């Protein structure tokens, strides 16, 4: 199970499977997941959109990730920006590639797929930083992965509309393989 690069058409062609992985990985209700359908399709038209997908031996999608250049006016960008001081904004969001989603089906987690996906997703990104949000809870596989890759706290205990759980916003310099970033 090795991730491959996807384009926007690939994401749309596998949308039902992508949403299934998203719902199971995030433990979201079917209604909430269905509400993401249009949002995800709209995201494929964002500047510098890139995506990755991972298939199992039977050809089913078991992981995916995507992101794009974060810009003023975008929902997540503005939500996070409103909680940062000007220096924090300049440091983290002013030249940022946002990892919007990065998920692996719970049935195959723990096999290194998430790390392969984020490495492929961020490979070649020319932005200065990358940022993402993930549910709080430092013991999850996602948390351990992000910490191992050098992601730092940008904000903690952020609540996003549509999910009552607190999230952390994490970021790091790019390129990903530069230990000084």
Residue listed under structure tokens 């692996």 = 104
Q: What three-state secondary structure class fits 83? A: coil
Cα–Cα distance measured from residue 94 to residue 133, given in angstroms and rounded to the nearest whole number:
17
Q: Is 173 exposed, middle or buried (0-12, 13-18, 19+ CB in 10 A)?
A: middle
Upstream peptide bond of 175 is cis (omega within 30 degrees of 0): yes
Asked whether 167 and 135 are in contact (CB, 8 A), the reply is yes
Active-site residue, 146 included:
yes
Cα–Cα distance measured from residue 41 to residue 99, given in angstroms and rounded to the nearest whole number:
15
Strand partners, 133: 169
Task: Please pick, among 22, 66, 68, 146, the residue that the annotation labels catalytic.
Answer: 146
Which residues are marked as active site?
A: 146
């Amino acid at each position: 199970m090795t991730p491959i690069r996807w384009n926007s058409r690939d994401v749309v062609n596998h949308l039902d499977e992508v949403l299934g992985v998203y719902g199971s990985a995030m433990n979201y209700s079917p209604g909430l997941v269905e509400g993401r359908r249009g949002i995800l399709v709209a995201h494929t038209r964002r500047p510098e959109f890139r995506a990755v997908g991972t298939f199992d031996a039977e050809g089913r999608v078991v992981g995916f990730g995507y992101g794009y250049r974060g810009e003023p006016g975008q929902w997540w960008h503005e939500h996070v920006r409103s909680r940062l001081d000007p220096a924090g904004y300049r440091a983290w969001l002013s030249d940022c590639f946002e990892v919007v989603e990065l998920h692996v089906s719970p049935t195959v987690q723990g096999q290194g797929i998430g790390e392969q996906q984020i490495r492929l997703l961020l490979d070649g990104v020319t932005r200065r930083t990358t940022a993402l949000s993930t549910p709080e809870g430092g013991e999850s596989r996602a948390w351990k992965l992000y910490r191992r890759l050098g992601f730092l706290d940008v904000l903690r205990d952020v609540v996003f509309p549509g999910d009552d759980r607190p999230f952390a916003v994490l970021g790091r310099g790019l390129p990903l393989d530069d230990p000084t970033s």
